[in-house]
Structure 1
Amino acid sequence: MKSILFLFGTRPEAIKMAPLIHCLSNDPEFRIKVGVTAQHREMLDQVLDFFEINVDYDLNVMSPDQKLHTLTSRLIADITNDILLKESFDFVLVQGDTTTVLAASLAAFYQKVKVVHLEAGLRSGNMDAPFPEEMNRILTSKLASIHLCPTENAKANLFAENIKENVYVVGNTVIDALFLGLEKLREMPDTSFSEKYHNIDFTKKIILVTCHRRENFGQPFESICKALLTIAAQHQDDVEIVYPVHPNPNVQKAAHQHLVARNIKLISPLDYPDLIWMMSKSYMILTDSGGIQEEAPSLGKPVIVLREVTERIEGITAGNAVLAGSSVEKIIAETSRLLSDRYYYDSFTASANPYGDGNAGSKIVALFKTAFSG
């Protein structure tokens, strides 16, 4: 029986880990433990509840306005002392590119435990965008023994860095999670959501906005706000802009200061089920989120990416998304065209989701039973 520790700290990690945790937990060939660092506490907890994930180790490291250097050092010490020195594992499975991922990989490496990296091989080519995620995933790739890539492009990135052993393309588990989430939503009445957001006019075209990355703090975020204000003014009668504002104070203060308009609704951060419900009700999505770039094509929603570069180039290439960065002119132009040109809008949904088909979890389980069995 192989022993696997799932270790994660943020909501996106939990979402992408959930399908695999369920797949492996139900298989008698594996002993599964789940550890969370709670790098993001509240946003993590609601995903754990939604997907019914039981936690064996909770490090609860979140503190107000935590700095990267103190967070990283504390994570390495706590993961080592409170988990890895107390119990033996064959594999530590990490996902993505957070500070938890890097710290967990380094702690496991020090204890000579094999690291499995889920969503391996993503690269933007710019160490400052996203920061510090690009550095986190590059270093994690050097520490990992097994690389589970979402796409062929991610595999090619690893090969270009001379990482060629135990590299597998499996798709992205975020699509598995999305389909699981949509199943759960079908069991819930639609009115439970619409009544909660009664101040939003769903008879209009909903433009969902999410923006929270560090590289957008400051002037880039102000430019994005300027574009949103212009779009709101130009489409007062037919468009509602809905922005769940991230709890980071750098985002909260600026959003409430700049985004004041009758048809811009600033709301609290959305729980995962609320988010996928809101995405399904949206006409289009403007985002700097990686997960939403991956999920939106499966919901048939065009995406305008609010980043200068993206490691998720497959959606751009396939025509599911367009890169606008923080350019006021480009954000306005692309949004206006999607609102007015139905042929252009339909072109975003013409191709299949390049990030997966919802079967990544079963592919990974098969790999664990064959390729990693020794």
Structure 2
Amino acid sequence: MKISVIFGTRPEAIKLAPVIMALIKKFRVEVDVCVTAQHRKMLDETLAVFGITPDTDLDLMRPGQTLAQLTIRAVLALDGYLGKYKPDAILVQGDTTTVLCGALTAFYHKIKIGHVEAGLRTYQKYAPFPEEANRVLTSHLADWHFAPTETARQSLLKEGIADSKIFVTGNTVIDALYMVREKAKTKEFDEFPELKSLHSTFDIGHSTMVLITGHRRESFGGGFEQICGGIKKIAQKFPEIQVVYPVHLNPNVQQPVKKILGGLKNVP
């Protein structure tokens, strides 16, 4: 069986890494890793951590590219890729533009579609934007739905998705977290200076650590200021904990984080 795993961003790479490795090592299927590179720098760094090298790199991002332009480029590139590779199925994860374009193009090629992290809903078309629409549309193209929670499963059932096509799997980001945690403990990150520095920055394995992530565009502005304000209160109230926040490169995230959290000893 030939499976194409299609993704383009850092979150997708993190959550699909355990799946890719299981498919190759445990199930021994032929896997082709295809990236659109929506997050060029962050994607490459993440894949290096997991030791994954893309088989196909479509390299679609361009400066100032709109969502519509990205969608057009992605569908055209994926059309050529799927026509050439001809997988039996594809896997996509989450709710990015790459997910929707991958699912739509696979549908046009009559290729089976597996959707990891299926069923997440806010029921608000523009929140998150464009992710809510991307994941709803993908659900009605997919053949297999890997829902992280029972709540996600119920959301899919309400939309008419057959119960036999839904599998509650948990969230693969937890698998990725465990994998990286073990590598950090055993110092397998010596080849990555930024990650190796975690040992000197944090008391890994001997203190309580709180991992936080957040970068959604609907939170830009006041939303992120409130989030950072909440983190600051927690850090000040519980000085014995260490807060780990891998900050997105987007200036809309960087600025409030540095302004509000900068200088806190337990938020290095």
TM-score when scaled to structure 1? 0.61
Whether 1:197 and 2:201 are equivalent positions in the alignment is: yes
Q: 1:247 aligns with which of 240, 243, 249?
A: 249
Q: How big is the shift at 1:104?
A: 0.6
Deviations 1:115-170 (CA, angstroms, capped at 9, x unpaired): 11111112122223222211111000011111122222222111100111422222
**Contact (CA 8 Å) 1:90, 1:114: kept in 2 or not?**
yes
Report the counterpart of residue 210 of structure 1 in structure 2: 213
Whether 1:114 and 2:95 are equivalent positions in the alignment is: no
Residues 152, 25 of structure 1: CA spacing in aligned structure 2 closer, same or farther, 3 A cutoff? Answer: same
How many residues are paired up?
261
What are the residue-to-residue correspondences of 1:14-163 with 2, within 5 Å? Answer: 14-26=13-25, 30-81=29-80, 83-163=81-161
Partners of 1:195 and 1:98 lie apart in 2 by 33
**Which AA in structure 2 matches 1:108?**
A
Q: How big is the shift at 1:106?
A: 0.7
Q: How big is the shift at 1:264?
A: 6.4
Farther off after superposition, 150-159 or 26-35: 26-35
Report the counterpart of residue 192 of structure 2 in structure 1: none
Aligned residues: CA RMSD: 3.2
TM-score when scaled to structure 2? 0.83
Partners of 2:200 and 2:63 lie apart in 1 by 29
Give 1 or 2 for the bigger CA radius of gyration. Answer: 1
Q: How big is the shift at 1:71?
A: 1.5
Identity %: 45
Q: Which has the higher contact order (CA 8 A, sep 6+)?
A: 1
SS in 1 for 2:37: coil
Partners of 1:29 and 1:238 lie apart in 2 by 45
Partners of 1:136 and 1:261 lie apart in 2 by 35
**Contact (CA 8 Å) 1:11, 1:47: kept in 2 or not?**
yes
**Contact (CA 8 Å) 1:98, 1:133: kept in 2 or not?**
yes
The runs of 5 or more residues in structure 1 that have no matched partner are 268-374
Partners of 1:55 and 1:245 lie apart in 2 by 24
The runs of 5 or more residues in structure 2 that have no matched partner are 190-194
**Contact (CA 8 Å) 1:243, 1:264: kept in 2 or not?**
no
Deviations 1:33-80 (CA, angstroms, capped at 9, x unpaired): 110111111221122122222311001123345422222221111111
